[in-house]
């Protein structure tokens, strides 16, 4: 750390006065903070709380599916209307209020400034506003459970005309609140995404070239770009839908010159890139973890970035595969089948790169590494089953069956949940200054991953047997009401209960370690990236002296060195230069 | 493969099942190879005392082929899947074989109703047969259907036929099927359509031509027709506006 490196950062210092260690009130420290690490915590805890709500909703409707008509312990009787609300809100919460805030916002906020060697986000007040808007959206969403006729029940895709008219969906206020909450949530992520991109492009420490940025930062930035580029049409669509609901316009009303399919195009134009918005940060997290615990350089850093860009571009031209049988011109399906299958190429390539990284390594199976490896193993299943749905001819049968449900849970669960636990167990020492308990971590890992497969493997089978989605009870469908299929549904429900139970060791581990965990050193995993060069947890302002970067982030086991890691900011010492 | 779970009963169910089988073989192969490689590498390169890891950048030519060769193979598999997928799709959804019969399918919150020609074989005449929750068709006859919705989106799905098509209000969406096996099969609604979505069940009754003409005679009986009529007359009036 020879260079004072003030030049690149001087223009960021408008909030520098906040970096002193003057005492702060509780309100200013925890609720009104502009510190990126505190905002990350706010996002993390809000997202985690909503994950518990989303998990509870899943438990209730799975109980109804396994034991139709039962009085669900902790909820009560599930009526068809409530059932629809439960599945709608489960989907909405898990994607928009869990996956995005935790993966993109929480870890984006925490990691980006620390990993690129910056004292904070470029726009700290916009960052604070982003969380506040997000919190407001979460409150509105939760409030919609308590309005007349309950929360919106028209599925997380909210297709009009069902969502547009209270006479059809029977919960007009719930539908409007849902829409307002979703639109506000998008505004929050627009503000956050803007910050991520600008900070990464302009706030990097001296010496950090584009090719020296850690993969996880690249992935979060690209996810933000995808999000910002795709969300505009959906916000426009949401405003039109809100007008249809509240002002009696007819954008989606076929009786008065509108078209319900318009919404589907706007929704999925956003909705498919959204899949990658969630997936990419998880892929980035996995890249950081497998390199550290295999003590290996990432196999083809540039290949990873090229394939990510290719995936990002392709993700904008595949959306209509959600609409093959929606009544669009059938000839369009042929084009979208080709683009959809094409996207399998960069994604498989990326997975091959990750697997190849293990070659020649020295793998330690710590809790974060187990999560990262299970991400690859589980995501592969989600990836290959997507081919069935992208191939238009096969989608005729699988569309809107439980096969689809199982498929996207095999992509979203590894991304959002496994990715979240991987990141938490890996960066916990940095975030909270304590180590987590490995034994509890492993119990939590095995319980969660096994239960996850117990939930969703049976659903591939019921889907292949023709179970359609969003059905409250199969009693009226003789072919689906067979006992064999019902046993599979019960098995899946048992999986949900086991999965939720196994979150208890995690919660104990998390809160116990906060106070009683072993104190974390600066760099417990012997990692290279810049966040490990500051104290754990990092102080306000992050770096006592802003670092200078000399090399890429994955120089593990470099030949001719005494240690098997080589921090990005370590200058080349004269002795070692001589040795080389 | 799908036959294990659900028996096909239309002329195109076989081709869709074959396509699914083809995809299953190809992706199953890749899944096993890649998971195998992952677990083998995890085992082979587990941490052992005295073994340190190697420094491999993965950017040299002889190394990148570990990624580029699978890349090309995956691309080839994609082509092998895309072609039959499109062929099946074109056959089922894009072409309309000469129809021998026409049925109208009406969806509404939360019921299916059907209109088909009576004994005269012509649609939109006085002896049309209208049914609710039950569609009678005969085997080995190509049916053209006209699918309509009176309110929100629905989806007409007959899993045994491998048939699925959304109904969109304001449009008439056409398609076809040709049943092969007599029997009673589920009709599902597979598009979220409100609180009664799970109740929107109907049956499709596939009969032999003899059984079917007997049914037509019974159903066209003026007395039977009159009994079925009152409930539907008002809907009939609504239909006229909905159709474009």
| Structural contact between residues A175 and A163, judged by C-beta atoms closer than 8 angstroms | yes
Q: Please tell me whether residues B108 and B227 are part of one structural domain.
A: yes
Nearest by CB: B16 against A364, A397, A557: A397
| Structural contact between residues B176 and B96, judged by C-beta atoms closer than 8 angstroms | yes
The average confidence (pLDDT) of chain B is: 87
Q: What ipTM goes with this model?
A: 0.90
Checking if the pLDDT of B234 tops 50, the result is no
Range of the domain at B155: 101-242
Q: Could you tell me the residue ranges of all domains in chain A?
A: 31-579
Checking if the pLDDT of A3 tops 50, the result is no
A370 Cβ contact partners less than 8 Å away, ≥ 6 residues apart? A442, A445
At residue A11, the pLDDT reads 42
| DSSP summary character for residue B74 | H
Tokens coding A72: 């669900």
At residue B5, the pLDDT reads 72
pLDDT bin (cut points 50, 70, 90) of residue B231 is very low
In chain A, the residue whose alpha carbon lies closest to the alpha carbon of B94 is A330
- Please, which residues bridge with residue B107 across strands? B112, B149
Strands (DSSP E) contained in B109-201 are 111-116, 129-132, 134-138, 142-149, 154-158, 163-167, 173-178, 183-189
Q: Please tell me whether residues B71 and B169 are part of one structural domain.
A: no
Per-residue CA distances from A365 to A294, A320, A369, A432, B24 (Å): 9, 41, 6, 22, 32
Q: What is the biggest distance separating any 2 CA atoms in chain B, rounded to whole angstroms?
A: 92
Q: Please tell me whether residues B86 and B116 are part of one structural domain.
A: no
Nearest-CA distance A483 → chain B (Å): 13
- Touching check for A478 and chain B: CB below 8 Å? yes
pLDDT bin (cut points 50, 70, 90) of residue A15 is very low
Q: Please tell me whether residues B90 and B107 are part of one structural domain.
A: no
Specify the range with the lowest mean pLDDT, choosing from A11-15, A416-420, B27-31.
A11-15
* CATH number of the domain to which B68 belongs: 1.10.287
Q: Please tell me whether residues B134 and B229 are part of one structural domain.
A: yes
Nearest-CA distance A81 → chain B (Å): 5
Which of B94, B122, B142 is at the close of a domain? B94
Per-residue CA distances from A146 to A170, A171, B9 (Å): 14, 11, 46
Task: Write the pLDDT tens digit of every residue in A122-132.
Answer: 999 999 999 99
Nearest-CA distance B218 → chain A (Å): 26
Query: What 3-state DSSP class applies to A300?
Result: coil
Chain A 444-463, residues with CB within 8 Å of chain B CB atoms: 461
- Touching check for B214 and chain A: CB below 8 Å? no
Beta-carbon count within 10 A of B73 CB: 13
Decide if A355 and B152 are in contact by the 8 Å CB cutoff. Answer: no
Chain B 39-78, residues with CB within 8 Å of chain A CB atoms: 39, 41-42, 45-48, 51-59, 63-64, 66-67, 70-71, 74-75, 78
Nearest by CB: B54 against A254, A298, A557: A557
B50 burial type by CB count under 10 A (0-12 exposed, 13-18 middle, 19+ buried)? exposed
Judging contacts by C-beta atoms under 8 Å, the chain B residues touching residue A314 are none
Q: Please tell me whether residues B45 and B118 are part of one structural domain.
A: no
Which of B94, B113, B129 is at the close of a domain? B94
At residue B222, the pLDDT reads 63
Query: What 3-state DSSP class applies to B153?
Result: coil
Q: Please tell me whether residues B113 and B193 are part of one structural domain.
A: yes
Specify the range with the lowest mean pLDDT, choosing from B14-28, B112-126, B133-147, B150-164.
B112-126
At residue B1, the pLDDT reads 62
The average confidence (pLDDT) of chain A is: 92
Q: Please tell me whether residues B153 and B62 are part of one structural domain.
A: no
Checking if the pLDDT of A168 tops 90, the result is yes
How far apart (Å, rounded) are the C-alpha atoms in residues A57 and A14? 44
Tokens coding A418: 């496994």
| Structural contact between residues B109 and B194, judged by C-beta atoms closer than 8 angstroms | yes
Specify the range with the lowest mean pLDDT, choosing from A102-106, A185-189, B48-52.
B48-52
Decide if A294 and B53 are in contact by the 8 Å CB cutoff. Answer: yes
Task: Write the pLDDT tens digit of every residue in A301-339.
Answer: 999 999 999 999 999 999 999 999 999 999 999 999 999
At residue B2, the pLDDT reads 72
How far apart (Å, rounded) are the C-alpha atoms in residues A54 and A48? 10
Q: Please tell me whether residues B84 and B146 are part of one structural domain.
A: no
In chain B, the residue whose alpha carbon lies closest to the alpha carbon of A88 is B192
Indicate the pairing of strand B142-149 with strand B101-108. Answer: parallel
How far apart (Å, rounded) are the C-alpha atoms in residues B142 and B96? 10
Task: Indicate the fold that domain A31-579 takes in CATH.
Answer: Cytochrome C Oxidase; Chain A (1.20.210)
Average pLDDT of the residues in A13-27: 57
Average pLDDT of the residues in A551-577: 84
- Touching check for B239 and chain A: CB below 8 Å? no
Decide if A299 and B63 are in contact by the 8 Å CB cutoff. Answer: yes
Checking if the pLDDT of B68 tops 90, the result is no
At residue A300, the pLDDT reads 87
Average pLDDT of the residues in A277-293: 96
Q: Please tell me whether residues B128 and B228 are part of one structural domain.
A: yes
Checking if the pLDDT of B86 tops 50, the result is yes
- What is the pTM (predicted TM-score) of this model? 0.92
- Touching check for B201 and chain A: CB below 8 Å? yes
Judging contacts by C-beta atoms under 8 Å, the chain A residues touching residue B192 are 84, 154-155, 157, 159, 162, 469-470
Checking if the pLDDT of A443 tops 90, the result is yes
Q: Please tell me whether residues B79 and B150 are part of one structural domain.
A: no
Average pLDDT of the residues in A114-137: 95
Q: Please tell me whether residues B113 and B228 are part of one structural domain.
A: yes
Task: Write the pLDDT tens digit of every residue in A183-219.
Answer: 999 999 999 999 999 999 999 999 999 999 999 999 9
pLDDT bin (cut points 50, 70, 90) of residue B227 is low
Average pLDDT of the residues in A243-265: 94
- Count of the separate structural domains present in chain B: 2
| Sign of the CA dihedral running A286, A289, A294, A296 | positive
Which of B78, B94, B110 is at the close of a domain? B94
Specify the range with the lowest mean pLDDT, choosing from A537-541, B40-44, B88-92, B176-180.
A537-541
Judging contacts by C-beta atoms under 8 Å, the chain B residues touching residue A464 are 2, 5-6
Decide if A396 and B41 are in contact by the 8 Å CB cutoff. Answer: no
In chain B, the residue whose alpha carbon lies closest to the alpha carbon of A303 is B59
Size of interface A-B (CB pairs under 8 A): 298
In chain A, the residue whose alpha carbon lies closest to the alpha carbon of B2 is A464
């Amino acid at each position: 750390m020879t260079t004072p490196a003030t030049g690149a950062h001087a223009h960021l210092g408008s909030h520098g006065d906040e970096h002193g260690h003057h005492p702060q009130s509780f309100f200013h420290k925890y609720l009104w903070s502009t510190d990126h690490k505190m905002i990350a915590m706010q996002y993390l805890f809000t997202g985690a709380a909503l994950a518990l709500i989303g998990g509870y909703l899943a438990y209730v409707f799975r109980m109804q599916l396994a034991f139709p008509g039962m009085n669900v312990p902790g909820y009560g009787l599930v009526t068809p209307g409530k059932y629809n609300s439960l599945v709608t809100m489960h989907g909405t919460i898990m994607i928009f209020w869990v996956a995005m805030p935790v993966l993109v916002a929480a870890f984006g906020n925490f990691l980006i400034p620390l990993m690129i060697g910056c004292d904070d986000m470029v726009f700290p007040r916009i960052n604070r506003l982003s969380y506040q808007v997000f919190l407001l959206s979460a409150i509105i969403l939760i409030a919609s459970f308590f309005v007349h006729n309950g929360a919106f029940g028209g599925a997380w895709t909210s297709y009009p005309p069902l969502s547009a008219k209270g006479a059809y969906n029977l919960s007009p206020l719930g539908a409007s609140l849902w829409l307002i909450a979703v639109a506000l949530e998008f505004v929050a992520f627009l503000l956050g995404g803007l910050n991520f991109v600008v900070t990464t492009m302009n706030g990097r420490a001296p010496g950090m070239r584009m090719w020296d940025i850690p993969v996880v930062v690249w992935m979060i930035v690209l996810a933000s770009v995808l999000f910002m580029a795709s969300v505009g049409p959906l916000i426009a669509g949401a405003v039109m839908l809100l007008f249809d609901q509240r002002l009696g316009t007819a954008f989606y009303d076929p009786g008065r010159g509108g078209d319900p399919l318009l919404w589907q195009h706007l929704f999925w134009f956003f909705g498919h890139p959204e899949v990658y918005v969630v997936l990419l940060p998880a892929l980035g997290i996995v890249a950081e973890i497998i390199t550290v615990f295999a003590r290996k350089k990432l196999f083809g850093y540039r290949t990873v970035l090229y394939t990510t860009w290719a995936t990002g571009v392709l993700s904008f031209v595949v959306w209509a595969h959600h609409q093959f049988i929606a009544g669009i011109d059938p000839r369009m399906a042929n084009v979208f089948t080709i683009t959809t299958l094409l996207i399998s190429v960069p994604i498989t390539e990326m997975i091959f790169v990750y697997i190849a990284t293990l070659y020649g390594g020295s793998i330690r199976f710590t809790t974060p590494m187990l999560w990262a490896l299970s991400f690859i193993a589980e995501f592969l299943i989600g990836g290959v089953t997507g081919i069935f749905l992208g191939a238009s001819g096969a989608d005729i049968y699988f569309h809107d069956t439980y096969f689809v449900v199982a498929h996207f849970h095999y992509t979203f669960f590894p991304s959002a949940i496994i990715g979240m636990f991987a990141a938490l167990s890996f960066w916990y020492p940095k975030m909270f200054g304590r180590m987590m308990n490995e034994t509890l971590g492993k119990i939590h890992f095995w319980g969660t991953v096994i239960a996850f497969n117990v939930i969703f493997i049976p659903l591939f089978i019921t889907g292949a047997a023709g179970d359609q989605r969003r059905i409250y009870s199969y009693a009226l469908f003789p072919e689906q009401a067979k006992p064999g299929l019902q046993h599979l549904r019960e098995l899946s429900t048992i999986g949900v209960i086991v999965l939720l139970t196994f979150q208890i060791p995690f919660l104990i581990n998390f809160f116990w370690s906060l106070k009683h965990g072993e104190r974390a050193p600066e760099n417990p995993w012997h990692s290279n990236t810049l966040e490990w060069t500051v104290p754990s947890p990092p102080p306000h302002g992050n770096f006592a002296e802003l670092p200078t970067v000399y090399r890429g982030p994955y120089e593990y086991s470099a030949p001719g060195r005494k240690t098997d890691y080589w921090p990005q900011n370590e200058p080349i010492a004269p002795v070692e230069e001589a040795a080389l | 493969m799908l036959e294990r779970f659900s028996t096909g009963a239309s002329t195109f169910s076989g081709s869709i099942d074959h396509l699914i089988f083809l995809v299953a073989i190809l992706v199953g192969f890749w899944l096993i190879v890649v998971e195998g490689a992952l677990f083998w590498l995890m085992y082979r390169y587990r941490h052992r005392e005295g073994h340190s890891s190697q420094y491999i950048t993965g950017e040299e030519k002889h190394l990148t082929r570990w990624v580029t060769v699978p890349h090309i193979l995956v691309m080839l598999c994609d082509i092998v899947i895309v072609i039959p997928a499109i062929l099946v799709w074109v056959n089922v959804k894009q072409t309309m074989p000469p129809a021998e019969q026409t049925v109208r399918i009406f969806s509404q919150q939360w019921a299916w109703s059907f209109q088909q020609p009576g004994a005269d074989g012509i649609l939109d005449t006085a002896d049309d047969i209208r049914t609710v929750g039950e569609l009678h068709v005969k085997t080995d006859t190509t049916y053209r259907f006209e699918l309509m919705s009176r309110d929100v989106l629905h989806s007409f799905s007959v899993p045994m036929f491998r048939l699925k098509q959304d109904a969109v209000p304001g449009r008439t969406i056409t398609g076809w099927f040709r049943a092969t096996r007599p029997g009673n099969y589920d009709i599902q609604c597979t598009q979220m359509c409100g609180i009664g979505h799970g109740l929107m069940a109907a049956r499709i009754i596939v009969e032999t031509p003899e059984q079917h003409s007997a049914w037509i005679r019974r159903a066209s009986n003026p007395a039977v027709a009159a009994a079925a009529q009152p409930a539907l007359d008002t809907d009939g009036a609504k239909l006229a506006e909905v159709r474009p």
